Structure 1
């Protein structure tokens, strides 16, 4: 497993090369959106980062095959100091006190996960949950899998969850088919659950969304592609991995001196962890161009020429040279006028 993980970090796939550059950088654009709207990135190894990471993986424990293959990409904390967010935080505190006064001194505040598409998460980061027309369902901190399944994959394969504080107050039980209920059944209740003794869903009614749910953290993660099925398919089409070293060897004959030097510089920066893997892929694209990378893709897809990182003798060098010659044929044909 460690070898596979290392290969994933030092290689480029067919999907990577074929995807548009805005997709490769989409999660980073998303992170910039989070930062612009008052969420700051925190270190996973920090005290609070470690607590969130531990809680997240613990919430996936009932499905080990998903937990084992899930990787946290980033954690962002709500550090918003704008007047709007100050008002929301103040409203949350005022409402918590009001519920506590009404419910015997306990507002029943919990942490809960909320999973949605990248666009919905970004919209919520900007405007809170008040834009939602109906109530929302969130998952208790120890039952995060349901929210994970509701999260959407962005263009770079990353999913996002909000970790929120929610004021539950007194809860009532609602059935799965109670889709026509948008508010508490009476003034005796503040929120709803699917099971009083062991809830897996908290339901926050739309009449309360402005003040009893407060986004605190955004957790961004990569999950296995078969996530929605909950069971691993019998066969998964393997990705074709091309190590950056092999890719550079194939591209070099078609680049001028300055391009080769720039590519080598970026590769050194990547090996020294000065740039990330998606940034490396995007810079290879910028230096070599989409047409040349597309030719590499066609070469590896149609001819299935793969060079093992563990076989670096003369045979490997011969394969690279053969690949380069074939690539030249493909690339030349692409450059001919229509």
Structure 2
């Protein structure tokens, strides 16, 4: 792992990476776990209860990386659509496993109330390498737009856009880890030829609301539900979490659409990004998965209660 005091081992400080350096970075990313075993096998089992959709394959290895989603078997156009996404950043494990766990353990309760669409592992190349970026060193979570530079984002965008105006709630499941500070932010600075500025990793769960269309009651309801499962991140000495002002316990805001974040890809009135902290001494992997499931169910419950009809 890189540290804040050691130059990143690829490139020249102050100079953005060229094509050779981008390729060097990609070659150094080694497979560390199996998308087929961890995700596709579970999707196959869940396909006994849900409709499985293949919405693309990654050009980097089409046979290895089919992009798959699951949706309600009895899809009813009269019902509201609830969208759940995970693994936009492949290294954020509980987002992937939390989406799958929700389908297995909790989704049945909503069978006659909503249309569920769940893409549990948006970035399988990154999932296998426990990596934030895709194979071309592009962050999929800044790429949800037309003419996207990330195939992972472009494929999901194409799947969701016909439903864009009908999605009532979209929750995108993420993690913040210690490697954000030791690896991924230093890599970002090196890739872009910028100085690395150390930050602080928040200890606990938090949510990212939409600056452009904030929904404080929705976010407070999700935070209340998750607080029964795991601890909520507190503001730092500046009253911030990852450089953004805390607007309510465990809630910050980003301009989701402007930044082309996954949570901003629809017109859903209720949309958010979760962040758990698996490296906390106060939690573990199972607790993080449970927190994601609690967030999804609370988000759906709120949207159902407060949506017309």
Bigger helix fraction: 1
TM-score with structure 2 setting the length: 0.25
Computing the radius of gyration over CA atoms, which structure comes out larger, 1 or 2? 1
TM-score with structure 1 setting the length: 0.24
